Chain A
């Protein structure tokens, strides 16, 4: 154990991680400074934080449950007196509670699916880039082809087969959204693996797996964070798209897509049932988009097209 940690220390010293640490951190710091100067991104950060807080804690504050009807108020328009600030639906359920709950589910799907896609994408891209040669060509060809396929159809296929399970929805979306991540990570890995510290690690006799996960992956955090941030809004849209079509989250659970789907059916007579969930979705997407763009500009790695 001691020996091993000693070896790691040596590897660290040889690879110059200690020396690289400083410019690395200042790069991060200057990127953060640039992000803070981007007004749209800062405002979006606050909006997103507010949305997350409301979605997490709001349901405990408001007196209505997302699934229980209020027998005194069916199809009630939004009003301050009744306490239904967003009105109620045809079943007398409080729309505010449902919207908050839906936001929560949409956010949960987005974060879990992004996590899944990051894990697959980073592993795939790093392995492909590090191994290089034939393996790399075959792996990237596969990604190219997957890119062209209408992956929503596969998600729908999976939902048809395994029933409409929310957890499966997380995994299925994530498992199909990793392609861009894999490409970016591969591009980064290709340049990283020529660096001295990787050569040093190889010289100490580390295997490819150890090099990839201990030395390459940690150095990818910048671009990975940016593209994860850009993936989240995509997944939010995908989830609401699927829920809208009826393949996503099922009653009495709800997501923003389900709410919009229900709302657009009765849009003409009960317009608030569409407007409130729609505004939440758009606000969420806008803020996520601005944060992602802001992060990309702040790091300005220029190799996001690779």
Chain B
């Protein structure tokens, strides 16, 4: 297991390095620098700024400095929010994003898996069809459309939850953003789960369990669940990265001060340093999450390890 994880980690590093390199040089291709404002700056100020941000050095040494700093965990300065480095801004936003994303992750797994099992056990019943149409709605309606509708219904009309903001981070503030964020994943997971559960229930060992006289409940929980969960686990890696992209929208709409919102405003303000730093940070995060998912997967399904 340790060897497997190490191997995965070692393959991730060159990929990360290539991605950073490509992003760095592509950003430098961009027309206009970060300090081209409405008013032209005096030459000395420009020179000082360039020197401060190492922009006066040749491109290759700029690149080497940047990569060296990234390796040390320093993502460089933000060009617009002068008082904060990129790493500091990410550190400020991270707790919010992690809490939102983590809860949405757990929530969508629990709800999705239960809905999928329910659908598989009540196949072709009316409730299964109702569930299927709800799932379809979750798949088709994008989150930026669900969010304002939820805000209007649950926030303004019914006044159950606040329309936005973080408040003290209590559940009341989190329910709407979490539901919007997890809706498409609930849909995908329950769809996957329903299919794989039906498949698992049709296998020979389940027939054996049934002929042994086990109750339905025991069959589902003790025998069918584990094999049925494997496709869900392999979906978790992509799900994590979808959750991050989804949180871009959800954080902006609900006014949650997480990394996603910083990223959007940095991108709209052409804060190259911040955009590059956030992309790198997200990549590392996603890679770590994927690694964890893979390790979990190989624990769940030992056949993967031997490949």
Contact = CB atoms under 8 A, between A and B. Distances in A.
Contact of B275 (A160, A244, A261): A160
A281 B120 CA distance: 31
B71 interface: no
Contacts of B102: none
Nearest to A154: B279
Interface stretch (B25-33, B55-63, B81-89): B25-33
Contacts of A145: 11-12, 15
A281 B142 CA distance: 9
A246 B266 CA distance: 12
Number of contact residues on A: which range applies?
A: 35 or more
B30 A161 contact: yes
B19 A245 contact: no
Interface residues of B, number: 45
A289 interface: yes
B6 interface: no
Contact of B11 (A141, A160, A274): A141
B4 interface: no
A161 B27 contact: yes
A126 to B, nearest CB: 23
Interface in A253-280: 257, 260-261, 264, 267-268, 274, 278
A156 B260 CA distance: 12
A147 B234 CA distance: 12
B145 A278 contact: yes
A161 B29 contact: yes
A222 B51 CA distance: 58
Interface string B278-289: 110011001100
Given A160-B270, A281-B145, A148 B26 contact: no
A150 B282 contact: yes
A267 B152 contact: yes
B272 interface: yes
Contacts of B287: 148
A64 to B, nearest CB: 25
Contacts of B126: none
A160 B267 contact: yes
A227 interface: no
B142 A153 contact: no
Given A245-B248, A268-B156, A160 B279 contact: no
Most B C-beta atoms less than 10 A away, residue of A257, A261, A264, A282: A264
Interface of A: 141-142, 145, 147-150, 152-154, 156-163, 237, 240-241, 244-247, 257, 260-261, 264, 267-268, 274, 278, 281-282, 285-286, 289
Which 9 A-B residue pairs are closest in the complex by CB-CB distance? A264-B148, A161-B30, A152-B245, A150-B241, A244-B144, A148-B290, A145-B15, A285-B140, A160-B267
Interface of B: 11-12, 15, 19, 23, 26-27, 29-31, 136, 139-142, 144-145, 147-148, 152, 156, 237-238, 241, 244-245, 248-249, 252-253, 263-264, 267-268, 270, 272, 275-276, 278-279, 282-283, 286-287, 290
